[in-house]
Amino acid sequence: MVRHTFLILLTLTTLLAHGQQKDRVILTKHRAFQAGEELTYNVRYGIIPGGAGYFSIKDSLLNGKKVNHIKVKGVTTGLADAIFKVRDVYESFMDVETDLPIKAIRNIREGRYRYYDEITYDRDSSVVHTTRTGTHKVPPKILDAVSAFYFARSHVFNDQLKEGEMIELVTFFAGKVYPMRIRYRGIETISTRFGKVQCYLFSPVTEVGRAFKTEDDMQVWISRDGNRLPMRIKFNLVVGSFVCELTEFRGLKHPFSSLRQ
C-alpha cells in the first residue's frame, strides 16, 4: 500500500472517475505560487511513518517559452524503504502565460519496477505525443496530473465556490484522458504543526474498488489564503487510513495568513 499511497500523493490519479457530470467552475486569475516555492510532506499510516514528498518550482525555458518547471518527488523512508523502495519523480513544464503544460515527465522506480514516459502537448492540434504510447487526440486545455494540482491552486480554489459544488478538470495520464472530479465541502479549521489553519475542504471522487470503499474516502485541506497550500490529505483505505501532512515550506508567494491563533 505504500506504493499506491505515493501514487495518490504525487498524481492524485486514484481520485479520477469516469462520470459525465460537469458542474459550474468559477475560474480566477489569481497566482498562488512562484518560482522558488518548496513544499515538504510526510506520509504516515496511523502513527507509523512511511515516506516523504517534495514539491518544487523553478523558472526555466522550453522551446523558447518561459515555463514553471515543477518537480514532485516521492520516496519511502525507514522500514517502508527497506521493504519496498520507492523513488518516483513527476515533472511538469507549465507555460507561465496560460498555466497549461507544454511537457510532462513520469519517472517511476518502485522496487524492481521501472517506468519512464515523456509527454509533449501540441495545443494547436489538440494532441499529445508520448514516448510510451504514441500520439493521442485530447480535449483543448488538457492538463497533466501535476499541472492540474497547480492550476487548481491558482484558478479554482477560491471563496466563490459553493458548498457541495463539483469541480472537474480534465487530465491526461498513462495514455488516457481522465476527468478529475472534486467536491467542495466548505471551510474547516484544522490543527497542524504550524498552528491552527483555516482551510477549504475538498473530497475528490475516489474510485470504489481495491483501495476505496466509497467515493468519499479522500479529503484534502487547502489553506484559505493566497497560497492555497495543501495542508493535509487523508485517505480512508480498505486497509486503514493514510495521512499526508505539510511539514515544511519556503518561498511562498503570499503571506501565510490562514494561520489562526
Q: Can you list the positions of beta strands (E) in the chain?
A: 38-45, 48-62, 65-76, 87-95, 101-110, 113-122, 127-130, 134-137, 166-173, 176-192, 195-204, 218-223, 230-237, 240-250, 259-260
The CB density around residue 131, as the number of other CB atoms within 10 Å, is 11
Question: How many degrees, rounded to 5, is the angle at CA 121 between CA 119 and CA 125?
Answer: 140
Residues 110 and 27: beta-carbon distance below 8 Å: no
pTM of the model: 0.86
How far apart CA 95 and CA 67 sit, in angstroms, is 5
Q: In this predicted model, which residue has the larger pLDDT, 25 or 146?
A: 146
pLDDT at position 4 over 50: no
Contact status, residue 257 vs residue 243, Cβ threshold 8 Å? no
At residue 5, does pLDDT exceed 50? no
List pLDDT tens digits, range 124-144. 999 999 999 999 999 999 999
- pLDDT tens track for 88-102: 999 999 999 999 999
Closest-CA residue to 67 (of 181, 144, 178): 144
Containing 252, the helix (H) or strand (E) segment is none
Beta bridge partners of 67: 60, 95
Look at residue 241 in the predicted model and tell me its pLDDT.
Answer: 72
Inform me whether the pLDDT recorded for 6 exceeds 80: no
- Amino acid in position 116: Y
